[in-house]
Chain A
Amino acid sequence: MFRQISDYLDGDLDAELKRAIEAHACGCHHCEVVVDTTRMTIKLYCDGTWYDLPIQVHQRLHAVLKSRCRDRMA
């Protein structure tokens, strides 16, 4: 079951295997928790809101790009 979780979360399983996993997991609290918390793990990392781009990093990037790219485009 655990080996299939990743494919299950990606919707990459055929219908028969998907049904078999769901049938198993309906009576298995451990599997339910693993699926739900793996999905939460992905969601947490996918959600970029906890990453900030430091303003100084942004400013230095744009300064470098302006000096090395803008003049070549003009």
Chain B
Amino acid sequence: MFASWLPVIIVAILIGGVVVVFSRYNDLVRSKKRVEEAWSGIDVQLRRRASLMPNLVEMVKGYAEHEREVFEEVARARGAVQQAGGAGQAANANNMLSQALLRVFAVVENYPQLRASENFMSLRGDLADAEEKIAFARQWYNRNVLDYNTHIETYPDVIMARSFNFASAEFFRTDEEGRAEVHINFSRRPASPEQPASPPAA
């Protein structure tokens, strides 16, 4: 009696196991796709901010031609943002850009006329908005990364993740260590020859 049922039970267990494995695998893939989607959200905002740079540089140049060093730093940082491969690199490049921006604004402080001009104020508003959007995009991305990383590092998904080579995703950090790294990387890196494209005369 039992013997006649045994093959059926074994087959059922096997089928059940396969189904479970498939669905766990699909869950992992879905989770990974979500991280990628959230990353594209950050990427869009990073590029948006970087695209504001030529305008800013052009505007400040009109007043402070001699601050070439600052402009070059902005150009390098912008290039780095555009070429960044992963979350870590992009975060570094973005921090670099933030620092370059700080220097630009320090220069602007010396030119009250520029500071008060309508164009500059509106650009400043756009920059602030872009920064806020990056912050929110980062939050969303990091939440997804946390979820994904927790998945692939906890039992039972960890078995699946190991056997199918699911690598853990990188957080997008903006902490102090990140900034320090920027400087080291920066000094080692050859200066990007790319100059910011001059904006259409406005």
Are both chains from one complex?
A: no
Interface residues of A (CB under 8 A from B): none
Interface residues of B (CB under 8 A from A): none
